[in-house]
Amino acid sequence: MSSSFGKMLTVTIFGQSHGEAIGAVLDGLPAGIRLDFDAIARFMARRAPGGALSTARKEADQPQVLSGLCDGITCGAPLAVMIQNGDHRSHDYDKLRDLPRPMHADYPAAIKYHGCNDIRGGGQFSGRLTAPLCFAGAVAGQLLAQKGITVGAHIAAIHGVEDEPFDPVGIDAETLRRVTAQAFPTLSVQAGERMQREIEAARQSLDSVGGIVECAAVGLPAGIGEPLYESLESRISSLLFSIPAVKGVEFGAGFAAAVMTGSEHNDPFTVQNGVVRTATNRHGGILGGISTGMPVLFRAAFKPTPSIARPQQTVSLSQGCEEPLQIEGRHDPCVVLRAVPCVEAAASLALLDLMLESKGRDQWN
């Protein structure tokens, strides 16, 4: 089992890449909220394939609402959406049941499910399952916006080419909105162009590249999140590691903190206009699992797309011997661009769930 997360707002995601449909059920949305479906479509379009740098597979990805609305307003029933699948070229995948693709889930899934897993297009392991995640994240983002919270991410690096980082202290909603509105979301236009050249070069050489997404949430009040096992970091990382290709997650200074001394790393408290803040933000907006009121900042590392056109070595599960493998079909040489809204969606869902929990308990009196 695997397909649900969240406590006050539980999201269940279903589907296989080449099945009838994929979708999501959002259970626990407050009633009485008018959703902006144009904004949801714009958010999902950021994840959809299409640009010159992405896969040629066309997906309509039009979410069809099955329940949860009445006259366009949330009504207390679970919000269920379905996205029809189509445009299958399933024959591309036929041989893969015997020849697991390196760095894909094919082999462990074959063991786990006794060879009954859906191998077409990656089945339930496909990156396509992030479409309903983005739908859910877009909805969560609209509720967060009601409370003055903005979540946004940019491409921090592609194959070693780095963008400027977010200003950990000064990052604001306007900057987040501006960068996420770009077709290629980087703070530095030049860095973005260099990254796109890296991706194109990978495509030309029948290879792929990885990268890093940096995400920020601003406007989150202090006091959200729970200590220990429902910490903001636990919840956000748990969702991030559910996105295919994520290999690492770090908050604030992250791995760099490991080479610092305490006197270098500690953020001094300060007061600005009567509000407690920190002068620097190496803590990433979270202490003890709870938001501090500073921008929440984290980064997720994505591996290079495993499906590359170059010949690779695998094994024949039926023959028990090594076999060469040539992967066909259309594949992104880099998933990072399309992963940006997925990272935002994961953060938005974790934040909203913990805000609902905090509202219920911390505001009891």
Our finding on whether 276 is near a second copy (CB under 8 A) is yes
Task: Tell me whether residue 115 or residue 148 sits nearer to a second copy (CB atom).
Answer: 115
76 binds a second copy (CB under 8 A): yes
From the list 107, 173, 200, 219, which residue makes contact with a second copy (rule: CB under 8 A)? 107
- The token duo for 283 is 């803590």
CB of 134 to a second copy, least distance (A): 14
Q: According to CB under 8 A, which one of 209, 297, 342, 343 is a site residue for a second copy?
A: 209
Give the whole-angstrom CA distance, residue 300 versus residue 156: 9
C-alpha 282/C-alpha 258 separation (Å) is: 12
What residues numbered 228-247 form the site for a second copy, per CB under 8 A?
228-231, 233-235, 237-239, 241-242, 244, 246-247
Provide CB contacts within 8 A for 115, sequence distance 6+. 97
Interface positions, 4-63, toward a second copy (CB under 8 A): 4-5, 7-10, 12-16, 19-23, 25, 27-33
Task: Round to whole Å and give the CA distance between 311 and 198.
Answer: 21
Q: How far is it, in rounded angstroms, from Cα 203 to Cα 121?
A: 20
Shortest CB 39 distance to a second copy, Å: 19
Buried residues in 246-260 as b, exposed as e (16+ CB within 10 A): beebbbbbeeebeee
Give 243: exposed, middle or buried? Use CB within 10 Å, 0-12, 13-18, 19+: buried
Identify the burial level of 170 via C-beta atoms within 10 angstroms of its C-beta, where 0-12 means exposed, 13-18 middle and 19 or more buried.
Answer: exposed
Segment contacting a second copy by CB under 8 A, of 48-56, 175-183, 186-194, 354-362: 354-362
| Contact flag: residue 182 with a second copy (CB under 8 A) | no
In the complex with a second copy, the residue whose CB is nearer, 91 or 178, is 91
CA–centroid distance for 269 within its chain: 32
**How many residues of this chain interact with a second copy, rule: CB under 8 A?**
163
Note whether 260 binds a second copy by CB under 8 A: yes
CB of 38 or CB of 114, closer to a second copy: 114
Give residues 142-161 in contact with a second copy (rule: CB under 8 A).
Answer: 143, 146, 157, 159-160
Neighbours of 225 (CB within 10 A): 28
- The amino acid present at 319, given as its one-letter code, is Q
Of 38-46, 52-60, 183-191, 314-322, the segment contacting a second copy by CB under 8 A is: 314-322
